[in-house]
Amino acid sequence: TQLLEQSPQFLSIQEGENLTVYCNSSSVFSSLQWYRQEPGEGPVLLVTVVTGGEVKKLKRLTFQFGDARKDSSLHITAAQTGDTGLYLCAGEGDGATNKLIFGTGTLLAVQP
Amino acid sequence: DSGVTQTPKHLITATGQRVTLRCSPRSGDLSVYWYQQSLDQGLQFLIQYYNGEERAKGNILERFSAQQFPDLHSELNLSSLELGDSALYFCASSPRQFTGELFFGEGSRLTVL
């Protein structure tokens, strides 16, 4: 069974601080997605990383896929209150598969 | 607005009952996924349909069933409900047969008393 562990589970920081969220697995994934979920809403895709070692930037968010395609990280620079939410990584297995396995989630609260 | 519509948004029922959750995918999307989200289990994949046919199964209980209709909307049927079935149930759609980006609805919150 493919599992994705995220750390930390909870994070409460002040506006302007930097943070990193980790997503780890013992399995190899063909691609990895990051979603953000706000209260009362469904998850919304932020980015997809496909190549080992790939780095993608989305404004203040930097996503990296591990070289071995088993892990990923999300770094937020100068966090804002609007970044508050549940961050979920999701891995797509090797080969043709219909299962997107979601990580355990990181709940981020950015205080003003 | 993702374009995925789920009804009802909230549902309260008693143990032993049966409920049906409905999902309309984004226009043009052929794949529909169902996920269950609870505090202790996170977001768990239940089942996927593509163009009316079941394509993948996850951790779906035998008491649960789903189907996708010719107009591509999908229904998730939950029967003999137990307290532990209380959760958020999300539908997501995708234009692709094999995952890719998923577009999630706002979810149906089920409370079993």
Interface touch A102/B2, C-beta < 8 Å: no
* Partner B contacted by A1 (CB < 8 A): no
Q: Give how far the C-alpha of residue A102 lies from the chain's centroid of Cα atoms, to the nearest Å.
A: 10
Q: A42 Cβ partners below 8 Å, 6+ apart?
A: B2, B4, B90, B92, B104, B105, B106, B107
Interface touch A97/B55, C-beta < 8 Å: no
pLDDT band at B94 (very low <50, low <70, confident <90, very high): very high
* Partner A contacted by B89 (CB < 8 A): no
Tens-place pLDDT, residues A70-88: 999 999 999 999 999 999 9
Bridge partner residues of A20 (DSSP): A75
- Torsion, CA B79, CA B104, CA B50, CA B37, rounded to 10: -40
Tens-place pLDDT, residues B34-73: 999 998 778 999 999 999 999 989 889 999 999 999 999 9
Tens-place pLDDT, residues A29-72: 989 999 999 988 999 999 999 999 999 999 999 999 999 999 99
